[in-house]
Amino acid sequence: MLTGHHLIAGREVSADYSPFQALNPATNLKLDTIFGEGTSELADEALQAADSAFDALRTAPAETRAALLDHLADEIMALGDALLERAHQETALPMARLTGERGRAIGQCKMFAALLREGSWAQMSIDTPLPERVPAPKPDVRRILQPIGPVVVFGASNFPFAIGVVGTDTVCALAAGCPVVVKAHPAHPGTCEMLSRAVFNALRKTGLPDASFSMIHGRGYEIGIELVKHPLTEAVAFTGSLKGGRALMDVAAARPHPIPFYGEMGSINPVFILPGALKERATKLAEAYIGSVTMGVGQFCTNPAMVLGLKGAELSEFVTAAGQQAEKVAPQTMLHRGICETYEAGTAVWSTISGLKLAGQSTLEASSDATQAACRIFSTTLDVLEENEELRREVFGPCSIITECANLQDMLRFARSLEGQLTAAVHGTAEDLRQYAALIRVLERKVGRIIFNGFGTGIEPCPSMHHGGPYPAASHSFFTSIGTGSIYRFVRPVCYQGFPDDCLPTALQNANPAGSMRLVDGTLTRNGL
């Protein structure tokens, strides 16, 4: 089924430049199918094609684009077990996890299809004319969100379906009416090829141009830079490391015509355990905490890498219980060797820091041949944390640091010093929340999502979800990369003044045939004019 080809606007292009193969991280053996590096010529071809398809895609009726997403959901499912098996070989993610993630990807397609059919997402606003107004007549003014043009998508290594070729970025861009060029992830190129073919099948079933989508392979950074700096690229979506994201973000900003770069770049996701929680359930909380730290071998951008609690017997009980739980966790295979080596290097640095103690780690030894990582939990005090900046940098994997604070002021001082975070969790009682309200006020300025009595791992794709945060967690704190709000990254307002009714976009016309919610003269209504 796999060819290793780049897929440019429905056309297969052999990938014979700088060939590479995917590795099975559990065995470190090369998988079949040879892929190749993309070139600047391929980037240009893909984006020229995307630009040529833009008008057809953006002017297609909402129902047509909704049908595209419905067909895409069907095509993903039609790939069957072959998709799951290839993704398992390339990522070592368990089949049950991949099956669930496939369901999430399909659900996202359906979610955006429903959003398009309802229509109000485009934020139509109409101010009717007042020709008799003095001293100056009021014109007819109408506004709607319109797609911006070709979008380049960089998928994540840890979510090959839900944040990959058919993930939120691609789906919401197509929903908005923007053509997409995907830079395939080199850790799972076969999975990327299979999903890209699903996109083309869905486009053809809907009658939309093949040029609405392209996928280019690449193991190096050069092809990514070429895609970002291409003059026809209008926006970029990225999920990955801060180092990689910031490099591409700088390229986007340095263009003669700068473009928005929407990067989700990870965080340490601090957890604050308040006295009520420690008193009521220290041991159970430790068990839940280790479950979150080791979920997916710690390979989530919302992994709880830092815990803070008040000094005392209850916190000591929590540390002991967490260490004991960590010892029970068997080492697991990470996504690829590069991530595993970075994890080992990061925790090795931690181990050299005076005042940082190992509270517990997996009893079984990790196998480097199987790209395995052991769980490691450390404990320290706030002064050690403040003296060692490297302890506050994300180490991607199943590790975390529990930090002892003397009092609430210590917690507040740490919270105020935080860089932007995707999530923060607060564990406690309702009375704790009232007593520690100042902590919540600080976190509201630092964090995209605040969780009470839970952990950031596990994201519900829904309209109310915000997956982002102040820099460096994300490149722009207003936008989310998960949920229906993610569509707003790829649109911009266009205002129409004085247009004849039949020359306006359908959603702005007087009759409002879709019955969408519109703001008319300051009042929300579904009625026509």
Instruction: Give the residue numbers marked as catalytic.
Output: 264, 301
Q: Say how far apart CA 185 and CA 496 lie, in whole Å.
A: 41
Give the end-to-end CA distance of the chain in Å, rounded to a whole number: 54
Residue 466 phi, psi dihedral angles, 5° rounding: -125, 115
Sign of CA dihedral 417, 439, 396, 367: positive
Whether 260 and 237 have beta carbons less than 8 Å apart is answered as no
Measure the CA angle with vertex 456, ends 452 and 457; round to 5°.
Answer: 135
User: In degrees rounded to 5, what are phi and psi of residue 145?
Assistant: -85, 130
Positive or negative torsion for Cα 83, 85, 91, 95: positive
The amino acid present at 146, given as its one-letter code, is Q
| 12: its two tokens | 């297969």
Q: What does the alpha-carbon distance between residue 58 and residue 212 come to, in Å, rounded to a whole number?
A: 10
Taking the C-alpha atoms of residue 224 and residue 246, their distance in angstroms, rounded to an integer, is 13
Exposure string over 213-236, b if 16+ CB within 10 A, otherwise e: bbbbbbbeeebbebbbbbebbbbb
* Phi and psi angles of residue 414, each rounded to the nearest 5 degrees, phi first: -65, -45
Q: How far apart are CA 274 and CA 515, in angstroms?
A: 48
> Residue 83: which residues within 8 A CB-CB, separation 6 or more?
76, 102, 191, 194, 195
What is the DSSP track for 325-379? Answer: HHHHPPPEE-S-HHHHHHHHHHHHHHHTSTT-EEEEE-SSPPPGGGTEE--EEEE
Tallying the residues shown for the chain, one arrives at: 529
- The pair of structure tokens assigned to 389 is 């900046």
DSSP 514: T
Which pair of structure tokens corresponds to residue 470?
Answer: 């102040």
How far is residue 209's CA from residue 179's CA, in Å, rounded to a whole number?
A: 10
**Running DSSP on this structure, what letter comes out for residue 140?**
P
Tell me the two tokens of residue 297.
């071998």
Give Dmax over CA atoms of the chain in angstroms: 82
> CB-hemisphere CA count at 13 Å for 241?
12
Q: Which helix (H) or strand (E) holds 493?
A: strand 491-497
* Three-state SS at 46: helix
Bridge partners of 238?
154, 263
**Beta-carbon count within 10 A of 61 CB:** 11
